[in-house]
Structure 1
């Protein structure tokens, strides 16, 4: 953790996985009731993370995974000349901290893009529990595999796609992730700035803005500030057909 936080009574903010609406997204399905109780006990508490605050920083020791309950995060690395590179965006129902599995320290910094809430899963507890619950162990391996695939997709995105394809993949992926959480797949608010999108996609700010404008002129989307309405999802899918989307 990068900064000390106020300790919140666990009886007041205890995260109960068995009744959480996001359990199907960030935790394995099919656990027996007693296994869910064990998992509940492994969760420390719900933690608030204010906008602009770092959940963990590059180089921090790996102690916990974090399930995002509400809000949006970005993960970043900083180059030697001080430039920030966005490596990902994470929303409710997703686990953060998987980057530290191999090295026992975080390889990026996670910053809240808005006021957020996370559930902390101390890894030593989770690891011990995974030995007792095969489904949980399999799920952890699945999550690590998904992280590798996401990184491969990001490399392809930056290496082989045109600007229009990069932004189309980004919007399509965001639409799919919103739908998986029960939200509208066609109307959503971008919590990140155009500059942050450009950093993630390897595009200049001007190129991001110009591509958004082109999509709007073509009737594919409607843009009002950070509010996006997808008008022609089929056209966006057609543009990225044959490309590998970024899976989270």
Structure 2
């Protein structure tokens, strides 16, 4: 993995501003960003929005394998993913990676560093990634005067805690895989992408690591879901054929909805 950290890369080399909507108002942020509802729908005047806008640095590209930040580095910024997928992971006592999660466009990385003032995990790009880097000390000060922004920060922190608890709620391998696919589907849908057809930018081994199962188990469960007509898998492209059944399979096992 090559290092371009912490959350520092070349500015957007084409001079673009993908985080701003192309609607004639340069102060409006991209509608897919996790901060969009705090920034665009609460009636703030342009002065307040301008203060938020100047805190955002567009950085990228990070290419597959590039390090965005490393565990132990001083925390000074969070970042919204503008494009691509970011994997976060820690090194366990045996020196192996333990995947913590995958961040998609519009989602925020670095939130779990707030408490300890250092990044507790590593973050790497899985494909070509662009970020909106936001100074955390500065956005914290601005949030005091923008209640909607402050509420959004608290909401994102709460969601981060909830994601950690969600994985442990599903014990059976089929439940965990189904819950993972449903989660990815819902997250893409929230950002305006297709909820039924999407690409998995992570490898099967990375998915298996995240779901705490062997790679061959992950492949077997995906193949079984495919053979039973619940999903269609072609290399990294997934099509949800029966999303309602997949959601039922993602529910913690109570003796119903098990794959035959």
Give the TM-score normalised by structure 2.
0.85
Given that 2:87 and 2:99 are in contact with CA atoms closer than 8 Å, whether structure 1 keeps it comes out as yes
Equivalent runs, 1:93-104 vs 2, <5 Å:
93-104=106-117
Runs of 4+ in 1 over 6 A off after TM superposition: none
1:167 corresponds to which residue?
177
Matched, 1:62 2:65: no
Out of 46, 52, 63, the residue aligned to residue 65 of structure 2 is 52
**Structure 1 unaligned spans of 5+:** 244-248
The offset of 1:125, in angstroms, is 1.2
Q: Is the 8 A contact 1:10 1:45 kept in 2?
A: no
How far off its partner does 1:241 sit? 3.0
Q: Which moved more, 1:180-189 or 1:19-28?
A: 19-28
**CA RMSD for the aligned pairs?**
2.1
Within 5 Å, give how 1:55-204 maps onto structure 2. 55-157=68-170, 161-204=171-214
Inter-partner Cα distance in structure 1 for 2:58 and 2:228: 47
Structure 2's unaligned 5+ residue stretches are 22-26, 254-260
Equivalent residue for 2:29, pick from 20, 40, 46: 20
Preserved contact between residue 22 and residue 92 of structure 1 (Cα < 8 Å): no
Deviation at 1:7, TM superposition (A): 4.8
- CA distances 1:14-62 after superposition (whole Å, capped 9, x unpaired): 6547433335533424141322211101112333211111111111110
Alpha-carbon shift at residue 63 of structure 1 (Å)? 0.6
Deviations 1:169-195 (A, max 9, x none): 000011111111111111111100000
**How many pairs were matched up?**
239
User: Against the structure 1 CA distance between its residues 11 and 3, is the aligned structure 2 distance closer, same or farther, given a 3 Å change threshold?
Assistant: closer
